[in-house]
Amino acid sequence: MKDSISVAIPLFNRAEWISKTLDHILAQTVSVDEIVICDDGSTDSLDESLRPYGDKVKVVRIPNSGPAAARKVAIEESVGSWIALCDSDDYWAPDHIENFAKALQKYPSTNLFFSNFVTSERPESTKFGMAPSGWMEEVSEQYIDSTETIVKCADNILKAFLKYQACFPSCIVFDRDLYRSVGGIHSKVSRWASEDFHLTARLFAVANSVMSTEATVTINKHDNNFSREYIKNIEGEILVFSDILHYDLVPLRFRGPIKDKVSDLELQLFRNYYWSGQYEKARDVGLRIKKDNFCSRDWLRFVFSCFRLL
């Protein structure tokens, strides 16, 4: 490939993970040209973990600012014409970049590539394999042959991703000009939950996308409180999509589907606040929801939340 590839890695206190992540990147069958890590104010033994890699890795340090800010710095301190994202605790299969090279050879006009993936908690199931019925056909521009692994995506791919989000940062490679054309990463989203979709939604809205159905990335999941994280992620998604709507950051044809997505998320948030006993928050969100979207049980939940606060 004549075009250079930079890997951008945001990192905060991942000294115990980063070595394996880098080893997977350096073991690619098609080599990358540059690896840039943005250390987001780590306080662990990062220097010790990075010492064996010497000048194979460029490290930029910033005060702790959140993952999106660190990812932005890593991207914008790199020089490659293509940017491959990788989080500091995820792993690439040896042919991840090779698959990107094949995609670019098959579809030279593409400016965004992403791959299927598995998670560490469910390594036997790929993300695409768990998609709802009809999702793959909506994502693709052509009939998907079971033997075909490099697939051209449809222009309305963002609509499909609003229904089922199947692209994490570590799976994506995009052209630097595309990144610049959408305004890059907005630092203000850096500490929002689900902040990464603020960029990927804007990219997918305008990109000429190609995907690999082969799972070449492992997303590592860590222990946390599921219900708390689930609510936090819904709150973050609402912030992300509301900001995209408020500032007209995607073409007009996507505004309706995004508004519908926000309405669905607010209903999910209302129910989860109620189930977790956060009645004031449930009431406040319930006041924003069109009551036509309430089922009979939602009405009871809303009334109970209001009276509980009297």
Per-10-residue mean pLDDT for the chain, 310 residues long?
87 96 98 98 96 97 97 98 97 98 96 97 93 91 73 94 95 98 96 95 97 96 65 96 97 97 97 95 95 93 89
Residue 225 pLDDT: 45
Q: What fold, for 5-219?
A: Spore Coat Polysaccharide Biosynthesis Protein SpsA; Chain A (3.90.550)
Residue 2 pLDDT: 54
Q: What is the pTM of this model?
A: 0.94
* SS3 label, residue 171: helix
Paired with 10 in beta bridges are: 38
Q: Do residues 116 and 214 touch, judged by C-beta distance below 8 A?
A: yes
Query: How far, in Å, CA of 49 to CA of 47, rounded?
Result: 5
Residue 1 pLDDT: 45
Residue 229 pLDDT: 86
Query: How far, in Å, CA of 153 to CA of 110, rounded?
Result: 10
Sign, CA dihedral 239-241-243-246, equals: negative
CA dihedral 277, 282, 283, 285 (to 10 degrees): 170
* SS3 label, residue 106: helix
Query: How far, in Å, CA of 170 to CA of 296, rounded?
Result: 41
Residue 143 pLDDT: 60
Query: How far, in Å, CA of 23 to CA of 30, rounded?
Result: 14
* Size of the chain, expressed as the number of residues it contains: 310
Residue 221 pLDDT: 84
Q: CB-based contacts of 279: which residues, under 8 Å, 6+ apart?
A: 273, 304, 305, 308, 309
Query: How far, in Å, CA of 177 to CA of 183, rounded?
Result: 10
